[in-house]
Amino acid sequence: MALVSLTDVTKSYPSPEKGGAPIVAVDSVSLEIEAGDVFGIIGYSGAGKSTLVRLINALEPTTSGTIEVGGRTITSMPERELRGIRLEIGMIFQQFNLFNSKTVRANIAYPLQVAGASKAEIATRVDELLDFVGLADKARAFPDQLSGGQKQRVGIARALATSPRLLLADEATSALDPETTQEVLQLLKRVNREFGVTIVIITHEMEVIQSIATKVAVMDGGRVIESGDVFDVFSSPQNPSSARFVSTVVKGVPSPAEVAVLRERHDGRIVTISFRDGGASQSAVFLDLANAGLEFELVYGGINDIQGRAFGHLTLAIRGADAAVDAALAQVGARAEVTEVA
């Protein structure tokens, strides 16, 4: 069952200029986020990602459309009931948003105090969370004494304090270096696996989606332009804007400018062969070419691993008599997708 369900959700803001057209930040978005998903929402700055998050945790009302969280329609809920819903939703932020005047322990305890938990309950839960995020030795430290990665771990512990079912992460790793980013993403993976928390991760970094998400929605101009399994969107993006995102992490098909450089550097016919999990193996394709007596070398591309499933595009320069190359490519074409690029 979907934990979060959006149906035709639109959010617009009045124009800053008198009489101007309203700014449509989120435009007719429909999405289903299943319980247990790590759901990535990716898009360039201004695509509407943060606005969408503020609608899901009911910090702002929608202009139209319906949002359900845990089977309850939050778009028509009175504020008193929304407070209960917000306790089921944890949130982490790019700038961590910790209280600098409180210790790590007090930061993590804060949501439990607001929720009215007893002192004993708070102490037990905070100890559990400090252990979980690996910061038991920093309980008395203040945020200023921590690194960025440690601050985000405190942020995660605080977001989990009230045992939410849903964690919203808004650019949670954008202020961190690549190594620390991976540490935080691995911790989020554990949050998902060990506590069964559904995670919605908003980012403009495709690496984040590649490392952790199972599903992805690509946003552009307030709309969801493509969504689905991360593997499917990465291996065959349907929309040009999604393809641009994918190309930031996947070395795939050479651009026309790159083809021109390859042409200058390599003799023979230049051909891209696309592989996909469950399709032809590379060795079968190479064997076809070798058996035809052709010489070939890999000149561009690579194989990508998306959470244990492989796909990729390999561009080869193939040398041999034209008829022999044609016959071999016809044979390879029966196994994998073949595109002659030059």
Ligand X SMILES: Nc1ncnc2c1ncn2[C@@H]1O[C@H](COP(=O)(O)OP(=O)(O)OP(=O)(O)O)[C@@H](O)[C@H]1O
Instruction: Provide the binding-site residues for ligand X, judged by CB under 6 A.
Output: 13, 23, 25, 43, 45-51, 204
In the complex, the smallest distance separating the C-beta of residue 64 from ligand X, rounded to whole angstroms, is: 16
In the complex, the smallest distance separating the C-beta of residue 9 from ligand X, rounded to whole angstroms, is: 13
* Half-sphere exposure (Cβ direction) of 186: Cα atoms closer than 13 Å: 10
In the complex, the smallest distance separating the C-beta of residue 71 from ligand X, rounded to whole angstroms, is: 26
- In whole angstroms, what is the distance from residue 341 CA to residue 272 CA? 7
In the complex, the smallest distance separating the C-beta of residue 14 from ligand X, rounded to whole angstroms, is: 8
The helices-and-strands tally (H runs, E runs) of the chain is: 12, 14
Tokens of 287: 């064997």
In the complex, the smallest distance separating the C-beta of residue 89 from ligand X, rounded to whole angstroms, is: 18
User: Given the structure tokens 């070398």, which residue do they identify?
Assistant: 297
In the complex, the smallest distance separating the C-beta of residue 242 from ligand X, rounded to whole angstroms, is: 15
Q: Between 4 and 314, name the residue whose CB sits nearer to ligand X.
A: 4
Query: Shortest CA distance to 220 belongs to which of 246, 247, 242?
Result: 242
C-alpha distances in Å from residue 15, one per residue of 19, 21, 61, 178, 222:
7, 6, 17, 38, 16
Beta partners for residue 322, in sequence order: none
Q: Between 26 and 104, name the residue whose CB sits nearer to ligand X.
A: 26
Q: Between 45 and 118, name the residue whose CB sits nearer to ligand X.
A: 45
Contact between 230 and 214 under an 8 Å Cβ cutoff? The reply is yes
* Alpha-helical runs (H) found in 161-239: 178-195, 206-212, 230-235
Contact between 159 and 191 under an 8 Å Cβ cutoff? The reply is no
Residue 121's identity, in one-letter code, is E
Q: Between 56 and 108, name the residue whose CB sits nearer to ligand X.
A: 56
Q: Between 160 and 176, name the residue whose CB sits nearer to ligand X.
A: 176
- In whole angstroms, what is the distance from residue 31 CA to residue 191 CA? 23
Q: Between 29 and 69, name the residue whose CB sits nearer to ligand X.
A: 29
In the complex, the smallest distance separating the C-beta of residue 245 from ligand X, rounded to whole angstroms, is: 13
Q: Between 47 and 98, name the residue whose CB sits nearer to ligand X.
A: 47
- In whole angstroms, what is the distance from residue 276 CA to residue 263 CA? 26
Tokens of 229: 């399994």
In the complex, the smallest distance separating the C-beta of residue 45 from ligand X, rounded to whole angstroms, is: 3
H-run or E-run covering 21: none
Q: Between 204 and 244, name the residue whose CB sits nearer to ligand X.
A: 204
